[in-house]
Amino acid sequence: MRGRLNLVEGSIGINLFRLAFPIILTSLMSILYNLTDIKFISYYLGDDAVSSATAASFYIGLSYSLLFITKNSVQIYVAQSIGANRKNSAKRYARVSLIISVVFSISYGLFTYIFAEQLIRLVGVKSPHYLYPAIDFLRISTFGFIFLFLSQNLSAIINGQGDTLGPFVFLSSGVILNIFLDYLFLGIFRFGIKGAAIATVFSQLISVILLFMYLKRKNSIFRNMKFFKLDEIKFYRKIIRLGLPSGISQGLFTLISIIIAKMIADVDESILGVQRLGIQFESFSWNIAGGFAAAVATFVGHNYGAGKYDRILKIYKVSVISISGFCLVLTGIFVFFARPLYSMFFIDTRLIEEGVKYLTIIGLAQVPQGIEIITTGAFNGVGKTKEPNIIGIVGTSLRIPIIMITLPTFGLLAIWWTIHFSMVFKGIISALIFIITWKKQLEYMKITLEI
């Protein structure tokens, strides 16, 4: 299997694509699973079951607020440590992130399991027809949180080395297994919505085992790393301090999504499934951008650690141009093919019509969303996690008051257009701030070196 790339020399464009491509493929495999999961649930259990799974999925998404604290920071620190040729530091950061992720996942899993019913009711789900399947789905999913956290952190550690192919192979294996188990548990054994959750937990376990084996392979710098050794407290503080802004931002984003979901449910509970499917379509865009962003964070981190500051803005420009092209293509698909896309998953014409409105409006904001995600990766690579997350928090938080004001007049359209404009706002502001702040920092470093 391909080893890690040399990211401090050579063509920026070629290395960026070589680094990003496996991450993007991994994300696309995950999207394929999510869409297949929705299709299986809809086909075997009905459209209402999709809405139940959606209500539970918000709290699975909320777990990422804790997961991102370790995942984002360990990738940055591993990349910078390897760029500066400090392999022992890379091992310490890797070990600390895994220990913290275990503690976080178990704690959040217990909380979510115990308060599952109350959490589902918070989304606005009242009907027993939706409520109890959602509770079952969420409670079973909590058993997989530890595997979710470990698999994502192991992937981040390996990605931080500049090796993105390994995580692609093993995470994709888990996704393919998940699709097979979905068919087995839903179509053959008829386990109901519980079967979908069980399939996910089991496939996550397999992914973790494969990733651990890959991390400890013969030529890995982590081969002799001791997983159960406690490091100095400063390493725990650094991991949490660097990742905390990302965690807070993700947590607030999910909480705001839950509030918006409640607003949608108050209008019509069945529309929750429409939004979930729309988010899965849209995830093609932000997962591709996320793949580039992860590559940019690693790429920038290596060059930052090696002191090659002049390459960083070039890396950013190449990545922004690249992702803008991808997002333009997806915008065209979302706008012109929204109806056939929704018709593949739903039968109810009312749900299809609302889905077309959602996907068309959100589709028009894909380019600025992609730029925002890329910019976050660039900020992360230089160890600045506060700036992009402040922009994200402000831009996303503004959705709630705007929706509250406009919802009585415009209905669901108020929600879709508010999300659209917040995406545009965050994309423009984040790009401007990164370019201005990095140019200022570059000038400062040049003056310091001259002195």
Would you list the DSSP string of 190-225? --THHHHHHHHHHHHHHHHHHHHHHHTSTT-TTTT-
pLDDT above 70 for 444: no
Backbone angles phi, psi at 115, to 5 degrees: -105, 25
For residue range 16-64, list pLDDT tens digits in order.
888 888 888 877 877 777 777 878 888 888 877 887 887 888 899 889 8
pLDDT above 60 for 3: no
Under 8 Å between Cβ of 412 and 267: yes
pLDDT above 90 for 246: no
- Residue 450's pLDDT is 45
Higher pLDDT, 376 or 225: 376
- Residue 127's pLDDT is 82
Give the rounded percent of residues in the chain with a pLDDT score beyond 90: 50
At residue 226 the predicted structure's pLDDT band, cuts being 50, 70 and 90, is confident
Higher pLDDT, 315 or 438: 315
- Residue 50's pLDDT is 80
CA–CA separation, 9 vs 26, rounded Å? 26
Higher pLDDT, 418 or 231: 418
Q: Write down the residue that tokens 């297949």 correspond to.
A: 36
Q: How many CA atoms lie within 13 A of 105 on its CB side?
A: 23
- Residue 321's pLDDT is 94
Give the rounded percent of residues in the chain with a pLDDT score beyond 70: 97
- Residue 446's pLDDT is 57
At residue 445 the predicted structure's pLDDT band, cuts being 50, 70 and 90, is low
CA–CA separation, 219 vs 155, rounded Å? 17
Under 8 Å between Cβ of 294 and 20: yes
- Residue 307's pLDDT is 81
- Residue 4's pLDDT is 61
Assign 367 to helix, strand or coil.
helix
Higher pLDDT, 372 or 219: 372
Higher pLDDT, 305 or 340: 340
At residue 394 the predicted structure's pLDDT band, cuts being 50, 70 and 90, is very high
The answer to which of 30-44, 184-198, 236-250 has the lowest mean pLDDT is: 30-44
CA–CA separation, 246 vs 294, rounded Å? 13
pLDDT above 90 for 354: yes
- Tell me the mean pLDDT in the region 362-374: 96
Under 8 Å between Cβ of 260 and 118: no
Higher pLDDT, 265 or 103: 103
Instruction: Name residues whose C-beta falls within 8 Å of residue 237's C-beta, 6 or more positions apart in sequence.
Output: none
At residue 451 the predicted structure's pLDDT band, cuts being 50, 70 and 90, is very low
Query: Which residue in 255, 267, 257, 262 sits closest to 354, CA to CA?
Result: 267
Instruction: Provide the mean pLDDT of the chain.
Output: 88
For residue range 406-427, list pLDDT tens digits in order.
999 999 999 999 999 999 999 9
- Residue 236's pLDDT is 94
Write the secondary structure of 393-443 as one string of H (helix), E (strand) and C (coil): HHHHHCHHHHHHHHHHHHCHHHHHHHHHHHHHHHHHHHHHHHHHHHHHHHH
